[in-house]
Amino acid sequence: MTHIKTLNGATLKQSASYGGCGECQTSCQSACKTSCTVANQKCEKKAEKKAH
């Protein structure tokens, strides 16, 4: 492609297949006590995978 470069694929779509375990951190527990953000939170399953 000459006009377009893809920075990120359809990862959100893929995550629907394994997501929803609910073991992840609650977003306001990190560093946003007044402005909720979730996109920078870690996935607990992926963190576990990395550790093993």
Partner 1 sequence: MVHTFTCLGVYVAVDVNSGAVHVLDKVAWDVLRLQEKPMEDHCPAELSASLPEYSREELESAWAELLELQRQELLFVEDNYLDPQAAVLMQQDAPIKALCLHVSHDCNLRCRYCFASTGDFGTGHRLTMNVETAKRAIDFVIERSQNRRNIEVDFFGGEPLMAMDTVKETVAYAREQEKLHNKHFRFTITTNGVLLNDENIAYINDVMSNAVLSLDGRPEINDAMRPTVNGKGSYEVILPKFKKLVEGRGTKDYYLRGTFTRHNKDFAADVMHIADQGFANVSVEPVVGSPEEDWSLREEDLPEILAEYEKLAAELLKREDVNFFHFNVDLSQGPCVIKRLRGCGAGCEYVAITPEGDIYPCHQFVGNEAYKLGNLYEGTFDMTLARRFADLNIYTREDCKNCWARFYCSGGCSASNLLVNGDIRKPNRYGCDMQRKRLECAIAMQAIRAGLADSIEA
Residue the block writes with tokens 């893929």: 14
Distance between CA atoms of residues 7 and 1, nearest Å = 13
Supply 22's token pair: 């609910």
CB-CB contact of 23 with 42 (8 Å):
no
| Shortest Å distance, C-beta 17 to partner 1 | 9
6 touches partner 1 by CB under 8 A? yes
51 is a contact residue toward partner 1 (CB under 8 A): no
Tokens 């629907």 belong to 16
- Under the binding rule (CB under 8 A), the answer on residue 16 touching partner 1 is yes
Q: Does 52 bind partner 1 (CB under 8 A)?
A: no
Interaction site with partner 1 (CB under 8 A): 1-13, 15-16, 18-20, 22-44, 46
